[in-house]
Amino acid sequence: MNVLIVYAHHEPKSFNGALKDIAVAVLTEVGHQVKVSDLYAMNFKAIADRADFKEMLEPDYLKYGIEQRHAYENDALADDIKAEQEKLRWADLLILQFPIYWFSVPAILKGWVDRVFTTGFAYSKGMSYDTGGLKGKRAMLSFTTGDPFDTYAHNGRHGDIDIVLWPIQNGILRFVGFDVLPPFIAWSAARGGQEIRERHLVDYRGRLLALERTEPLFFHLAEDYNESWRLRPGIEARTPGQRTMARDECVSLRNAQVLQLGSSLLAE
């Protein structure tokens, strides 16, 4: 299997560095091919701007998505973007290795997604989710947190980790077609102490050795939705994003509160 690790940490001696190194060692040891995009070491440009295109349709008014498609179709994307897309074509599995920042990925990794998952290559109209440009490939998050598991439990102060990860696992990885493997999470990597970190390294090794037997997370397929992309009646919402209070319920709750407020004002 070909594995691409996209690694986003500025310090080689960090715990993220250790997780990246162990992944390279274990995967190579069992016969996989591994490439690493070390974003800070590459000084990877995180900002999406006009320098990303060697030629433009409308140089006077940058419409980034339109230029992405045009450049993709005309082989006019910047060389660093093309190189990352080539690695993705090669890869069977993508691992994103990062410390969680503000409930998300560090800016340099978000910039990698913004610039590399171009329209035409990763998604376009009619080419998303089950039919996304990277379908047939698998992806996995491997990340460290500052805070412990309990704060990310379903009733924890930060909220359910599955919901925290929904924008990344669904909104990015699944959107472009990946089968998404359950994440590897090294809780409290900095504050947890040496013993906990050593345990994380052992656990990660186990996860890496079991990769080929690991079932991806569940996402609803296109056929589960109606023409407005809402789950058909009778289809039970089974994902973290869809199981949370549906937007209609939020809106009706808000409307009920507004109505209640209105009627109490009238009664005064």
Binding site for ligand FAD (CB under 6 A): 9, 11, 13-16, 18, 99-103, 144-147, 189-190, 194, 197-198, 201
CA distance to 35, 71, 92, 178, 194, per residue, from 138 (Å): 15, 26, 6, 5, 31
31 included as an active-site residue: no
158 included as an active-site residue: yes
Q: Whose Cβ is closer to ligand FAD: residue 115's or residue 200's? A: 200
Least Å distance, CB 39 to ligand FAD, is: 14
Q: Whose Cβ is closer to ligand FAD: residue 148's or residue 216's? A: 148
Choose, from 7, 72, 123, 152, the residue flagged as catalytic: 152
Rounded (to 5) percent helix, strand, coil in the chain: 45, 15, 40
- Please give the helix or strand (H or E) that residue 35 lies within, else none: strand 33-38
CA distance to 92, 110, 208, per residue, from 104 (Å): 24, 9, 23
Choose, from 17, 120, 146, 241, the residue flagged as catalytic: 146
Least Å distance, CB 204 to ligand FAD, is: 11
SS3 92: coil
72 included as an active-site residue: no
Least Å distance, CB 38 to ligand FAD, is: 14
* Assigned token pair, 6: 């996209």
Q: Whose Cβ is closer to ligand FAD: residue 150's or residue 249's? A: 150
Q: Which residues are designated catalytic?
A: 146, 152, 158
